[in-house]
Chain A
């Protein structure tokens, strides 16, 4: 059977029987689960896994794929509406998304997250379908040095997140990196910064920290700065979706997000969260209006949300081609296969062609289903905006507690959220960027572990980073990105000095 025949057969199988209902259910559950802080995409899929036992393998896979895709969008809903990332991958979306909500454009932000995210997901899935085998071999060219270089490159975003003081932003980023070292070090078995408490063995729960730094601190700020009139309704709370013109304006950011998402997805170790920040960084770099980022730029929502959806296709490359999952979410897809008696690995494509092509078709269908299902849920979520501010604040804090509690059933996580809420408040008052800390946490894990692992691979030699081409290129880019603004700044100063020397009195 030819490729097209296989694909068409796949569509037929996916749409047969309960297929379409199961996919809609999966997408809906994914969006809802992703929207609940404490439930990440992988957790939502794991919760759905028992329900797949009664289904055949192909239907199980497409349902899980739907949950996966849905969760990537769902996480941005509370991020935009309440400054609370529903999944870690949505953290980058709140940087501009919440600002847009404050300006009255929540619906447009959510719409961009949904539509651009869907585009990213679709493109990545098509790339996957077309090139799974050659890309599968390409995966092996990526190893620890490349992941380290990418994470380092992503950290340069710190420069773009700090408005008031670069040094403070840097310190905030360092703090975030530091937080990732808490717990058991898997490379040596050493315990770091646990102070004898077993609760800290696995480190700081990143969701609790994010929620604390972003949502709780914001709530504390609103509570302690009571305004005469509700600040949220500065503009009119528009329920309009983004117009075609607005969608076109974020086109470049969407393209950036898609490319970043696919590449980061293929790379082992780095996942949706890292990709969203890297995409945000790149979109800002290539944007015509970089000054808007952080103040309500639609591109600032489009890029990360596209990227974290586009990771899905990239993640599935090593998963389907090599049987090695690219992320926790992909691992659950594999688990579903194993539990249905199918052995994953390089022969999956040839031995279970029908199944794989049904999955391909299903991936396309669930990404398309995102739009109708997502729009319905979007409309429903907009009701949140009509809540009176006191109710909203109370609700958000209550959600924070139960959401973070749900992950561990220890009270530790909510306590962490409270503590970091206080820390986040202090950071905000004194000019430190909480986003820089979160960025440090997200990329810090990769930076340290991949760096040390690279040195083990190279038997101690630091030259591995430059002798491997991909990592060398990324490191040169990182260096360039760091030096470029300094060079530009020096040139501007020189020009300003020339102007003031020849012209009117300067401000000194």
Chain B
């Protein structure tokens, strides 16, 4: 040991201590520290579908707003609830968020009796946007008004075939509820998604199609289908001439709203950071263009109001489920 070593050792020690203080700073759950790595956006539907495209568009719109990217991860299956199951097991550090709509977060968990996969097993983050639910018929259909259709349906039970997506999704509920409200019984033909349902309809194997306008807008333009009824509170600005079910006396109001949830116990500060980012994203050009093409409306609700909305929505849907006698006990 030379005479220099105590001084050098001390220097090294001081430097090491200083570095340690910087490097090993206890991670405080402040919004400023978040996110420091990409956030995973779990989507319970296959890539390319409506839910997936929504998630990717939202992720794209938050680029530049959040310091880290949002990465979509698809975990399709069981009407979206497989993703719910997966997300509920993820750490509650704000780096996992979950896609939710009425089908995946309320209806399917209820009718399959899986309360652990319902929205209230998670923390609501925000409701983002929504599309209306429509019923379409062919241009040469024999019915020119909804009343004619219903009269025909009453005279011919289980004769009108309606193509739509899987049981447990909003599409199926629109039809089931309408059946009950109008006192008819149609033959619902479930499919894996909106695309196959559209094919069945276009191929002449169903008289009606239920779904969103965005998926079929160009087919409407090409005059292969005609919007017939819309299941909303008020007439839509997209096709103002199409009557609502409500004005015809059938209380059927649904919206295909899309939203974001987080695993229960995610720090509120991080949820707040996300909602701020989403609000800004909704004002971005890329989101506006996406929404415009998707013919959707922004329906932004922050965590507290969204939770309130979900409580009411679940109550409403539960009542309908029970009226339809669909609940598994």
Contacts and interface: CB of A to CB of B under 8 A. Distances in A.
Direct touch of chains A and B (CB < 8 A)? yes
Given A50-B69, A184-B79, A201-B82, A457 B206 contact: yes
B256 to A, nearest CB: 16
Interface string A117-146: 000000000000000000000011111100
Nearest to B220: A345
A325 B218 contact: no
A445 B263 CA distance: 32
A481 interface: no
B219 interface: yes
Nearest to A186: B166
Contact of A318 (B69, B78, B85, B199): B199
Given A322-B199, A323-B219, 13 more contacts: A49-B47, A50-B59, A143-B203, A186-B79, A189-B108, A198-B85, A323-B218, A324-B195, A330-B48, A331-B49, A338-B290, A341-B293, A346-B224
A328 B46 contact: yes
A245 interface: no
B66 to A, nearest CB: 14
A191 interface: yes
B221 A456 contact: no
Q: Which 3 A-B pairs have the closest CB atoms?
A: A331-B48, A202-B77, A345-B218
A42 B219 CA distance: 26
Contacts of A186: 79, 166-168, 190-192
Interface stretch (B112-120, B234-242, B305-313): B112-120
A199 B204 CA distance: 38
B184 interface: no
B150 interface: no
A346 B158 contact: no
Contact of A53 (B60, B112, B161, B216): B60
Interface string A62-96: 00000000000000000000000000000000000
Contacts, number: 166
Given A140-B204, A335-B56, A459 B187 contact: yes
Contact of A410 (B48, B57, B89, B204): B89
Contact of A202 (B76, B198, B202): B76
Contacts of A341: 289-290, 293
A32 interface: no
B199 A187 contact: no
A144 B204 CA distance: 12
A328 B204 contact: no
Interface in B20-53: 46-49, 52-53
Interface in A308-335: 318, 322-325, 328, 330-335
A482 interface: no
B127 interface: no
A189 B203 contact: no
Contact of B187 (A201, A325, A345, A456): A456
Contact of A198 (B114, B203, B217): B114
5 contacts: A143-B200, A143-B205, A188-B167, A201-B85, A335-B56
A189 B77 contact: no
B222 A347 contact: yes
B107 to A, nearest CB: 9
- For B89, B158, B198, B218, the residue with the greatest tally of chain A CB atoms inside 10 Å of its CB is B218
A53 B24 CA distance: 36
Interface in B242-291: 289-290
Contacts of B78: 183-184, 201-202
Given A189-B168, A268-B196, A46 B74 contact: yes
A408 interface: yes
A191 B159 CA distance: 27
Given A184-B78, A346-B222, A459-B187, A46 B217 contact: no
B47 A269 contact: no
B320 interface: no
A140 B199 contact: yes
A238 B141 CA distance: 65
Interface string B202-213: 111110000000
Contact of B221 (A143, A188, A198, A347): A347
Interface in B47-88: 47-49, 52-53, 56-57, 59-60, 63, 69, 71-72, 74-79, 81-82, 85-86
B189 interface: yes
A324 B218 contact: no
A457 B205 contact: yes
Interface string A436-470: 00000000000001000100110100000000000
A339 interface: yes
A167 interface: no
A350 B131 CA distance: 27
B182 interface: no
A459 B206 contact: no
A269 B197 CA distance: 11
